[in-house]
Structure 1
């Protein structure tokens, strides 16, 4: 069965481009809150929003498997034209996201205490951050529900709905937060309330789009617990998501340690590393779009049993990824210094960061394979191999940094990070060829 009805390039861009635009809107929610807080008249407001946003980013980041696991399994069911399983996967994912959200709400007190203990803000900032947290935490059901629905949409080859939701959510956030802060004078509480309202508006719109997908695909609305929670299906669902969860923990460990290692070298190194890490973040917004395309299309090919099409999808994903990596490399080579000056006017930070700019220039090609293979492995639900490659890359990161830091200092940190990206992609390439490809030869 051939599943690629349009050209491969059109199929890829149909998912990648809306996903890239949607990714770019992600930081806007936090940026909007910070901007409004910046006009409240006290630095403690800004600090409170920054800390509150960081807490939720870390919490929700850990549960990103709700989106990725749902995407991979749904795309396979879509490729197999298994409408019942498409529906059941949505129910399983939403049930899981609801359970996790309830757990977060029940544990909100200990979570807040732990986060503030780790970050150690001033008393004024801690008080405002607590207000922000205790309001925004009630958005957990909406945020995690959106993870499930977004993964489901992508698995059904639809990246436009998540984009529309992201745009509406940001517009509502701006309007609601401005109203509560400047009309009702609610300060940090108003910012938080505006964010929560925007999150539930996003969830409501996603549920509307979910209804439209049901009608378009002719999906049943029946909810039969014995089918939704069927033992074998639940075991597979949690096995896939467990591996993604463990993989995310490794990613979080590297990210946090990177920041911590820079902090121990002084405020200028910390600031320089944070500045240059924006180069990776900007690049990731674009490459994640092609990773999402990899999830949707590779899963569809696998579900249909069309491994010749899968081979062509992967080849074309790497063609597009290589083009994006080349553009970003040339951009960073030619305009890397100008981008620094755009991000900050602190001359000392720019001067420090310039010493490490060559490492940032290497980010696009070092990370190219990792992004593309992540998408493919999620689509194939080969999440155990995905976790093993991340574990190997994480061990590489710490081994290289700890052994070379006495000699190279911060250069060792950047070398370790680039090798971490490269090893992830290399291990996934080898695992694909030696494990996955041997099960489904495409010659």
Structure 2
């Protein structure tokens, strides 16, 4: 019989993982924002365009390979719950090794990747030239970034989200100092910003290695390469990560189509959708932190076969989710339009945004369960169910949009997005009942 864990203890464990993860999430966009801010003072809009295009390429690339973090987190947390420290160590080496292999493939294919990107993204010759320079420098950061995904997922699986937070903060500090030094002291331009980003990426990876060596000394003697690439273990690793990869593709497709559909309706609608999505993004940073807590704790209790603590944790996660969703809805209702005024002084855009603002108010309550279940499913390595849920939701996104956009216009896009978010949560709630340990 597993002992009962008090509600206070569970909430403490949730917040210990969620709060550092939220801070890490908020710092991630700063890397791109810092680059844009620096080149924004170089005297030509082409520099901003180049950083925007280059940043978009890497965001897509690294977003697609985000399965390295998520899959590692779920499997590590389960091994940690079982107290299987040999497997815990093998998972880190396996994940980082696969990440480095993918990075080598990206380096080898950098030319066709870039040409394919510019086939899809139309840019002026000057922006394309500058973005190419930025890409060919930053692509060498792929080993650091993909290796760091393995470390980040492993740390979270070990119930430690503080180290990824420290790494994210360090990366931003290094990026600011390095980029400013290259641009203003060495008189570089886009290439200076690119080198600053590259150095920050390797600083983060080096810090992850050093933190592991310093604080996980007891695991170092367990580092043996025998069994890391065992067929059965690799099959499970890739089956879990395959589902997460396909799920991420669905996310990318829906997100990019949302932007594209808005752009097809004119620059004002595109601007409105972009601004309103910032409110969704802010909410997602918070809920992702609690999803990370779901990954770590659900995996741990599943590995320990502690069904009671698992169910207590799920209930408390949803209590936090409901509370935060209500709070964000009230916050946006009271101050959301004022927040938009901070982002732009274009009165036309702000006025137009008022026509769609009520859709944003519905996002927190419609979407919070999808974030939380994603985290719990990753911790349970129930990735097939997560994939099925987002496939169904993505299909309905397009069905709703094409069914209503002729007479609802941009409102149909927001309706489709809300249906997509809601269906993910509904489907996962239904499928959770069929998952061992989670189902009653």
Q: TM-score over 0.5 for the alignment?
A: yes
CA shift for structure 1 position 2:
4.5
Over 3 Å counting, the alpha-carbon distance change for 1:214 and 1:2 in structure 2 is farther
Matches within 5 A, 1:9-24: 9-24=11-26
Over 3 Å counting, the alpha-carbon distance change for 1:423 and 1:179 in structure 2 is same
Kept in 2: contact 1:169–1:198 (CA 8 A):
yes
> How many aligned residue pairs are there?
438
SS at match of 1:101: helix
My pick for the range that moved more, 114-123 or 51-60, is 114-123
Over 3 Å counting, the alpha-carbon distance change for 1:202 and 1:441 in structure 2 is closer
User: TM-score when scaled to structure 1?
Assistant: 0.97
Matches within 5 A, 1:270-289: 270-289=270-289
Match of 1:206 among 202, 205, 208: 208
CA distance in 2, matches of 1:24, 1:440: 33
Q: Which residue of 2 aligns with 1:411?
A: 411
CA distance in 1, matches of 2:35, 2:439: 50
1:176-206 Cα shifts (integer Å, max 9, x gaps): 0000000001110000000000110010111
RMSD of Structure 2 on Structure 1 (CA)? 1.3
CA distance in 2, matches of 1:183, 1:270: 38
Kept in 1: contact 2:32–2:55 (CA 8 A):
yes
CA shift for structure 1 position 442:
7.3
CA shift for structure 1 position 97:
0.2
Match of 2:93 among 91, 94, 106: 91
CA distance in 1, matches of 2:437, 2:84: 21
Kept in 2: contact 1:78–1:303 (CA 8 A):
yes
SS at match of 2:159: coil
Q: Which residue of 2 aligns with 1:342?
A: 342
Kept in 1: contact 2:290–2:317 (CA 8 A):
yes
CA shift for structure 1 position 117:
1.9
CA shift for structure 1 position 409:
1.0
SS at match of 2:219: coil
SS at match of 2:194: helix
CA distance in 2, matches of 1:42, 1:2: 64
Q: Which residue of 1 aligns with 2:322?
A: 322
Q: Which residue of 2 aligns with 1:52?
A: 54
SS at match of 1:163: helix
Kept in 1: contact 2:21–2:162 (CA 8 A):
yes
SS at match of 1:7: helix
Q: Which residue of 2 aligns with 1:109?
A: 111
CA shift for structure 1 position 70:
0.2
CA distance in 2, matches of 1:250, 1:357: 25
Matches within 5 A, 1:146-161: 146-161=148-163
Kept in 2: contact 1:48–1:129 (CA 8 A):
yes
CA distance in 2, matches of 1:3, 1:176: 50
CA shift for structure 1 position 220:
3.9
Q: Which residue of 2 aligns with 1:367?
A: 367
CA shift for structure 1 position 214:
2.0
Asked if residue 428 in structure 1 is aligned to residue 428 in structure 2, the reply is yes
Q: Which residue of 2 aligns with 1:185?
A: 187
1:8-32 Cα shifts (integer Å, max 9, x gaps): 1000000000000110000000000
CA distance in 1, matches of 2:366, 2:438: 28
After TM superposition, which residue ranges in structure 1, 4 or more long, deviate above 2 angstroms? 1-6, 220-226, 439-443
CA distance in 2, matches of 1:156, 1:82: 12
CA shift for structure 1 position 3:
8.8
Kept in 1: contact 2:94–2:228 (CA 8 A):
yes
CA shift for structure 1 position 339:
1.1
Over 3 Å counting, the alpha-carbon distance change for 1:222 and 1:274 in structure 2 is same
CA distance in 2, matches of 1:252, 1:337: 27
CA distance in 1, matches of 2:32, 2:147: 19
1:88-116 Cα shifts (integer Å, max 9, x gaps): 00011011100110011011111111112
CA shift for structure 1 position 7:
0.5
SS at match of 2:227: helix
Kept in 2: contact 1:97–1:145 (CA 8 A):
yes
Over 3 Å counting, the alpha-carbon distance change for 1:440 and 1:174 in structure 2 is closer
CA shift for structure 1 position 60:
0.4
1:300-354 Cα shifts (integer Å, max 9, x gaps): 0000000111100000001111111111100111112111111111111111111
Kept in 2: contact 1:307–1:442 (CA 8 A):
no
Kept in 2: contact 1:3–1:306 (CA 8 A):
no
Kept in 2: contact 1:66–1:148 (CA 8 A):
yes
Over 3 Å counting, the alpha-carbon distance change for 1:56 and 1:138 in structure 2 is same
Asked if residue 268 in structure 1 is aligned to residue 265 in structure 2, the reply is no
Q: Which residue of 2 aligns with 1:34?
A: 36
CA distance in 2, matches of 1:230, 1:3: 37
